[in-house]
Amino acid sequence: MTEDLVSVRGLIDSEFDEIVRSFDGIFDGYETAKASGYEGTRIDLKFKDIDNVIAVSPYNFPTKVINMGLSNKNGSKWGIFSNSLTAFIPDDEDIKDCADRVMDLEFCDGEGGRLPPKPIWNRDAQTEWKRAVALDSAIAAEKDADVLSNLQQERANMEEVYSNGEVPTPVWVVLSVEGVTAGSMGTPT
């Protein structure tokens, strides 16, 4: 049967990088690796025996790997994932202590009743935000109608600008760890 799962035929086009939207599974540890293309580290969070999978297209695998950049910032994908996990584990435990525990995870994309995307800093969005602020200042200070209309047109042509470069970004969060849910405030349910 496994041979039938692996094929180079019948591939489909998809607009999604991440097809799984939620699942529960046993945390099977993690691996880190040097990021390619930039300075940094990536982390693969490994889950096995996954169940209750919600996906935008068929997902028939018993495992799931979530890959993201490792960061020490709360406002990063890793920071948001980490903060969601620490709500369910004692202060003296870390992610390494969660091996072999069942976790319920959700991809916060705001679709289908799932949690909304979280604000994540983005270098390009930060640059656009600074440019928008500069244009807004120039428009407010400008008195010449021709220059003003050019500045206003340039500002109008900008795509949506996010304050401080924080863009709503789909991220993974932990909803429960082995019977502990957010509503129970850290006490077993």
Q: Which residue has the higher pLDDT, 3 or 110?
A: 110
Question: Residue 189 pLDDT > 50, yes or no?
Answer: no
Q: What is the mean pLDDT of residues 26-36?
A: 92
E strands, the chain, are: 20-34, 41-55, 63-69, 102-108, 118-121, 166-169, 171-177, 180-181
pLDDT reported for residue 13: 63
Highest mean pLDDT among 6-10, 123-127, 157-161, 170-174: 170-174
- What tens digit of pLDDT does each residue of 61-106 get? 999 999 999 988 888 999 999 999 999 999 889 999 999 999 999 9
Q: What is the mean pLDDT of residues 32-56?
A: 89
Q: What is the mean pLDDT of residues 149-170?
A: 70
Amino acid (one-letter) located at 180: V
Q: What is the mean pLDDT of residues 125-131?
A: 70
CA nearest 71: which of 62, 63, 61, 81?
81
How many CB atoms sit inside 10 A of residue 151's CB?
Answer: 20
All structural domains of the chain with their residue ranges: 15-119+168-181, 123-161
Residues forming beta bridges with residue 66, ordered by sequence position: 45
